[in-house]
Amino acid sequence: MENAVLLEKNEFSRTYRKGSVMVYIAKAYDEESKLHFVVISIPEIPHLGVVKLQLPIEFEIEPMRDAFIENFDCDVFLKELEQRIISNRNNVENQHGEN
């Protein structure tokens, strides 16, 4: 499969495309908790039948959050995410098969 392509980048967010999968990553800050976040949104992973994934990742300090975004590797992230989804499905299927 081809590598992810960075389509758009600004101070607060990045947009990637890998095949038919779009990945949006954005900075966020919660005033109430005083925590910094990166929110990764994936509208659909068609080949796995997965829709509307949203993964918030919490950071206590802003520089750590910003370093995460700057060093984000979309290809590695998607590979690990897809492996996790497949593994979870297999575990669920195995558990239901034992009942």
The predicted structure's pLDDT at residue 96: 72
Predicted confidence band of residue 95 (pLDDT cuts 50, 70, 90): confident
Residue 99 has pLDDT above 60, yes or no: no
**Domains of the chain: total:** 1
The predicted structure's pLDDT at residue 1: 64
When the pLDDT of each residue in the chain is averaged and rounded to a whole number, the result is 93
- Give this prediction's pTM: 0.87
- Residue in 26, 45, 37 with CA at minimum distance from that of residue 84: 45
Residue 97 has pLDDT above 90, yes or no: no
Predicted confidence band of residue 80 (pLDDT cuts 50, 70, 90): very high
Query: 37-54 as b/e, with b when 16 or more CB fall inside 10 Å?
Result: bbebbbeebeeeebeeee
Give the residue numbers spanning the domain of 29.
Answer: 5-98
Contact predicate 26/6, CB 8 Å: no
Question: Where do the DSSP E strands lie in 1-99?
Answer: 5-9, 13-18, 21-30, 35-45, 50-59
CATH of the domain at 73: 3.10.450
The predicted structure's pLDDT at residue 93: 81
The predicted structure's pLDDT at residue 29: 95
